[in-house]
Structure formats: C-alpha cells, structure tokens
Structure 1
Amino acid sequence: MEFCDECGSMMKTDDGMWICGSCGYETPRDSEKEAAMTSTQSQEESEVIDTSEVDAEDMGPTTGAKCPECGNDRAFWEMKQIRAADESETRFFTCTECEHKWREDDH
C-alpha cells in the first residue's frame, strides 16, 4: 500500500504507476519495495467459532447492559480494535438470555 506524497491519501495501482484518486499525483511502482509489503491476499480468514455448547461461565465477563431485543440487563462483552489505531476500540455485547449481538462505539 502506498500513500500520496502530496495529500496523504491511499494510492491505487494502474499498470506501472501508483495513482492518487484524490489529487491525481502519480509515481512509478517499485517492484523491490512492493515485494517487502504484506498482502492480505495470502492471509487466511479467521473462522467463526461455535459457542453454542460453551457454558456461560466460560464465555467471558458480563456487564450491566440492556439488550435491545429482549430487555435483559446482562450481556457478555469484549473490546475490539476495528478502526484506525488512533481511534478508540469498539465494545461488542452478546445478551446472556437471547444471545442477540450488538455493538457500542465510543465517540
């Protein structure tokens, strides 16, 4: 991945050039530099974990959070970094009764 030297936007490839979609800046591609880049194409996707047969006490911490589906006042929770590193983490909840899942973003 390359970022534009002029405006900082992410650049895209077009044949032998990196081209900024925001300002139009172009720079030649460097195959040696690109060989050192990490690609998500070769990475495996994480698999979905079935928790249907896991005991409640093994699911993790719970907190007081009202389920928007059934109104229950307890939920399992976990924090994940899903946005840029300089943004806060997102809280994910799973109702302890109906297993409805929702998230709450910090703003």
Structure 2
Amino acid sequence: MKFCDECGSMMHSGKDEATWVCRSCGHEEGRGDDDSETMTTTEGQSDDGPVDMSEVDDEEIGPTTTVICPECGHDRARYEMKQIRAADESETRFFTCTECGQKWREDDH
C-alpha cells in the first residue's frame, strides 16, 4: 500500500501499471520495480474455511465479564466492543451469555 506524498490518501495503480495515481488530488508518481517486492497481497493465499470451535469451552472464547443476562439471570458473559457510531461517541458493548447464548448490547447514552 502506498500513500500520496501530497495529501496522504491511498495511491492506486495507474492505467499503465507503471505509475501510482492519487484519486483524491490527482498526484502521480512513477512505480519502481522494488515497489512490488515490498508489498503484500492476498493473491495466492488460501481460505481454509471457518474454524471449528465446537470443542472449545464458551468461557475460553474471548474475554468475559460479570454482567447479568436478561434472559436467564446468569452472571457471566463474553463481550466485545465495537465503534459503530461516530468516532466522537463511545463504543457499543456486545454481550453473549456463557450459559444460554443470549446476545444483547449496551450503549452509553
């Protein structure tokens, strides 16, 4: 991945594959032979499919916390936090009960 020296946006291959072109500001620069050697692509990588987690105990998958499940009342749940709203707002917490598998989310208001 290459970034534009002028505006910092990601550069893309030009029409002739011998240049880099910035789609934001239009800046172009030559593409050297050594550029491709230092880049990583997904070409040729295999997809081994989904990972079988059936033998793994629920409490061993990700972090857990003490929180009451609204479905069964159990006091442990796995959680993850994701930024699903604007960057200046807090993350949303997603919980999965380790007992019954109930899923719910918690937002700060």
- Which TM-score tier does this pair reach, normalised by the shorter chain? 0.5 to 0.7
- Counterpart of 2:103 in structure 1 is 100
Which of the numbers 22, 26, 29 marks the counterpart of 2:28?
Answer: 26
Bigger radius of gyration among the two: 2
**Please, what TM-score do these two structures have when normalized by structure 2?**
0.58
Residue 7 (structure 1) aligned with residue 7 (structure 2): yes
- Counterpart of 1:37 in structure 2 is 39
Alignment RMSD (CA, Å)? 3.8
SS at match of 1:32: helix
SS at match of 1:41: coil
- Counterpart of 1:77 in structure 2 is 79
Unmatched segments (≥5 aa) in structure 1:
81-89
Letter in 2 for 1:48: P
**Please, what TM-score do these two structures have when normalized by structure 1?**
0.59
- Counterpart of 2:57 in structure 1 is 55
Sequence identity (%): 50
Letter in 2 for 1:8: G
- Counterpart of 2:85 in structure 1 is none
- Counterpart of 1:85 in structure 2 is none
CA shift digits 1:1-54 (9 cap, x unpaired): 110010010010022210001100000111222212222324444643233343
Residue 64 (structure 1) aligned with residue 66 (structure 2): yes
Letter in 2 for 1:40: T
Output the CA distance in 2 between the equivalents of 1:24 and 1:95.
Answer: 51
